[in-house]
Structure 1
Amino acid sequence: MKLTLCFKLLFLYPLFAFSQGKIKFNSLEYNLSPVNIGKTIFLKIPFSNIGNEPMIITKCQSTNATSIISASKKSILPNQSDSLTVKILNNSSGNFRHKFVVGIDHQENLTIIEVTINVFGTNLFGKVVNKKNGEPLPFATVRINKNGIGTTTDFDGKYSLKASLNDTLIFSMIGMKTLKVKADKQEINIELEEVELKEAVGPPYYPKTKRLEVTTIVSKEDIEKSNNPKYNFKKNANNNVFVIFVSELTSYDLNNEDLEFEQRYNVKYSLIGSYQNDYLKKYNKLTFKHLKKKYKKSWLTEIRKDAIGLDNFK
């Protein structure tokens, strides 16, 4: 009788020994790239108790001084789910890996969770080259689509521009195909393709006039006031020339609707060239006022939507 009892106790002991909570995470690795610099990141890390006893998170800490991880102190029942909360501060740009240590019920076995982030700074940079031969493209234009703010590349094809995460950048240059790229990393290197000859031929009725903002006769006053939008507008208007600067225009990408708009309202779409955004907005505003005065509001539904300063014109 005693032997039988001992046998039963030995048989049941392993079951009691393995009766415990057991934590399971959906994932042990997270990638939050990219994020804007200065933005505090909050992340929920789900987990569940797949054991056969309740469990409590007894260890929950970060190995990085700029991140914090926290957990509820309540007991998690078998088959019940919950989540940890991660808070990450990012005050400098670059790639960072945050590690978090989690344990339950004072057990020796610990779980390591990794969170990787690529922090996007305020300035992005890169190089623009010719796709055909890899040569750098100096004076290529790099602009932000939503506001027209931009810059040009230097003699080595390099540029630097203050932008935000997910801004759409427009890379353009005379004789090259325009390229749109979403800013999803700090360094953006671009290869522009040359425009093929057949693409450089416009529609049969394409006006064969030079797209110049100033007249061919340049006076001393013209040179001194070359950056004065009001002066240049008035001078061009006296010659019945009205210009609209647009951000996404290359030498050969005017379609039939653009050409019809030019003819209907006696205007010329123009490249932005090396003018600053403030100049372009002021000049276009004068053109918009002219159109409004002469054509009321009919032109507003037909004008190219990338006309600089159009969103702010009323």
Structure 2
Amino acid sequence: MSNVNFLINGRRAAVGALVVAVTAALGLVATPGIAAAASFSSFSAGVFAPGQVKHVWWNNANSDAYAPGLQAVGVDDPDVFCNVEVLRTWYQRTSAGEREFHLEIEGDQAERCQVTVWLARLTKFRESATGDLAPGASKASVWNNAHSDQNIYAVGVLAAQPASGSCAIEVTTQYRTQPNGENEFVYRATNVGTVTCSAQLRHVVLPVYNSLDMIPVNPGIGISIWPELFPVGRKVVVPGAAPAAVSAGPCQFSVGTTSYVGADSSFTRYKNTGAVACGVKAVFAAL
């Protein structure tokens, strides 16, 4: 049976950004070979004080990949809209062989909120390997012809069992489009653990539920996209991106953290991490 664990960290300063709401929903795209959430697990992360950050994790994490979502309600005022955020996630394996999925979560900046974590268990459709990575080392890979206007990508991790310490791998993602229109999914696996180890990466593809085309922004500029019109009962939002093709050079955007507001709303942070001004289509899967 899975257990839930907690470590409480310090407060993280909030980052301001332009917030834009998605106003049109698209039909579900049925793409051959695309995975879907097999099932869900949930657990209570407890009460968050204003601005509090907690490190929690899910034991016996035996799925190919996980996508997290949050639901939060006010402790002192149940009608308040709590804004809570998934700051980062990573996968870890102990020397005893236990597999864990870790999250850092930040509470609302003004309200005390009770937070529930939802985990969508996702099924892989292909694998790749990192090779040995020393602590702090990373390996970047590129998925060509990603068609990320139609597909959203997630990467799970099966870390190797170390002889001692913990093998912990964090995956970060970006999307890039070349001037010729070739669309790429870029992902980087970083060893955030204490020992040199390797891992199998479990690749997941999800269909786009809705999207929004954004006007061009300059390099280094962040924007927050607020997707609306998700189906009733949605527990998890998985964001992706389809950068525009521009003649000036590769258009590249990172997909940042996702904040959940109340029981059924969320927004995701994007940033132009390339060298040219360009636009992006923000895309979202609803699980």
Give the shorter-chain TM-score range: under 0.3
Q: TM-score normalised to the size of structure 1?
A: 0.22
Bigger RCO (CA 8 Å, 6+ sep): 2
Which structure is higher in strand share? 2
Which structure is higher in helix share? 1
